[in-house]
């Protein structure tokens, strides 16, 4: 019995030593902090595929470590953080904007782009590159995004403060949703997918969209999206009926791109130009 007790004590000591070594390894590797941060992101985003989300999260961390925090990787990382929450989830989205801003600020301090000027904040070239990529990932074509980007762009050598960065990111995100909504409106107006919609009907819907945008007050770009959401199917149908009270007749048409450009212009006209 005494020998069994001694053997049990030795096994317990060995297990305890093994646990301490494992704990030391986890601590030195920083795994606890990495796992805690990953779980916080998971709880914040609540994705449909948690395993896939975590896999992508650690893949981004690995790529960032291998690349040494170079500017292209910083932009990619910033965009990934912005994708974790929709802009309507205001608290989470603002937190992700802050993370993206800090990533780009740190990258700018390590490797200057363009010439001139110092100071803190995100470098103008990284700001412009990220906004262009954000619009592209939001499904916007280059021609649709270009007028908006011209209004909110900065010079490459400028340092962009956080509030300007936040407003620009929010505006681009809202604009992408707005354009998708306008595309749905055009599809509702068109009588067939392979035929352009009648111009009179398109103009009636655009007038309704303009009215909704004009009800938006304050500086927040998200309010423009909220205003456009006021266009209910019944209201759109009413506008179409008033513009075309009789039976459908052939007349001048408007293609999808012209309608999208017109809808985009209504939004962009209400975005303050960066000076």
Task: Please report whether residue 47 resides in a domain.
Answer: no
Tell the residue number behind the tokens 């937190």, with chain if given: 95
Given a contact cutoff of 8 angstroms between Cβ atoms, the answer to whether 204 and 242 are in contact is: yes
Structure tokens at 23: 């704990």
Report the pLDDT value the prediction gives residue 172, as an integer from 0 to 100.
96
Indicate the SS3 state at residue 230: coil
Task: Please report whether residue 56 resides in a domain.
Answer: no
Structure tokens at 185: 């409106």
- The contacts of residue 198 (CB under 8 Å, 6+ apart) are 189, 191, 244, 248, 251, 252, 253, 254
Q: Give the E-state strand segments of 19-166 in sequence order.
A: 122-123, 159-160
Given a contact cutoff of 8 angstroms between Cβ atoms, the answer to whether 41 and 80 are in contact is: no
Report the pLDDT value the prediction gives residue 165, as an integer from 0 to 100.
96
Task: Please report whether residue 31 resides in a domain.
Answer: no
Structure tokens at 240: 């179409």
Distance between CA atoms of residues 149 and 118, nearest Å: 24
Report the pLDDT value the prediction gives residue 10, as an integer from 0 to 100.
56
Report the pLDDT value the prediction gives residue 114, as an integer from 0 to 100.
46
Task: Please report whether residue 104 resides in a domain.
Answer: yes
Task: Please report whether residue 134 resides in a domain.
Answer: yes
Q: Give the E-state strand segments of 173-245 in sequence order.
A: 197-198
Given a contact cutoff of 8 angstroms between Cβ atoms, the answer to whether 124 and 158 are in contact is: yes
Mean pLDDT by 10 residues, the chain (275 residues): 55 59 56 63 68 70 54 84 90 93 81 50 91 94 94 91 95 93 87 83 86 64 54 58 58 90 93 84
Structure tokens at 33: 């902090």
Task: Please report whether residue 44 resides in a domain.
Answer: no
For the chain, how many residues are written?
A: 275
Report the pLDDT value the prediction gives residue 117, as an integer from 0 to 100.
44
Domain span at residue 194 reads 68-268
Task: Please report whether residue 3 resides in a domain.
Answer: no
Task: Please report whether residue 42 resides in a domain.
Answer: no
Structure tokens at 39: 């779980």
Q: What total number of domains does the chain contain?
A: 1
Report the pLDDT value the prediction gives residue 254, as an integer from 0 to 100.
92
End-to-end CA distance of the chain: 86
CA distances from 172 to 9, 137, 224 (A): 65, 11, 12
Given a contact cutoff of 8 angstroms between Cβ atoms, the answer to whether 159 and 121 are in contact is: yes
Report the pLDDT value the prediction gives residue 262, as an integer from 0 to 100.
95
Report the pLDDT value the prediction gives residue 223, as an integer from 0 to 100.
56
């Amino acid at each position: 019995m005494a020998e069994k007790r001694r053997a049990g004590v030795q096994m317990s000591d060995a297990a305890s030593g093994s646990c301490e070594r494992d704990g030391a390894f986890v601590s030195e590797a920083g795994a606890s902090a990495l796992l805690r941060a990953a779980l916080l992101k998971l709880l914040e985003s609540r994705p449909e595929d948690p395993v896939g989300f975590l896999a992508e999260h650690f893949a981004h961390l690995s790529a960032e470590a291998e690349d040494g925090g170079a500017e292209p990787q910083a932009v990619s990382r910033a965009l990934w953080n912005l994708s974790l929450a929709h802009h309507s989830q205001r608290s989470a989205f603002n937190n992700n904007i802050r993370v993206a801003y800090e990533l780009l600020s740190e990258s700018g301090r390590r490797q200057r782009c363009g010439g001139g000027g110092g100071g803190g904040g995100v470098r103008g070239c990284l700001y412009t590159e990220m906004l262009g990529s954000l619009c592209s990932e939001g499904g916007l074509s280059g021609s649709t995004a270009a007028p908006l980007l011209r209004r909110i762009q900065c010079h490459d050598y400028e340092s962009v403060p956080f509030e300007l960065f936040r407003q620009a990111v929010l505006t681009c995100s809202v604009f992408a949703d707005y354009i998708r909504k306008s595309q749905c409106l055009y599809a509702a107006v068109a009588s067939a997918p392979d035929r352009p919609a009648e111009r009179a009907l398109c103009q009636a819907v655009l007038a309704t969209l303009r009215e909704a945008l004009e009800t938006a007050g304050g500086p927040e770009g998200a309010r423009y999206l909220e205003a456009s959401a006021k266009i209910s199917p019944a209201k759109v149908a009413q506008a179409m009926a008033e513009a075309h009270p009789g039976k459908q007749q052939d007349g001048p048409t408007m293609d999808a791109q012209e309608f999208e450009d017109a809808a985009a212009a209504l939004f962009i006209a209400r975005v303050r130009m960066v000076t």
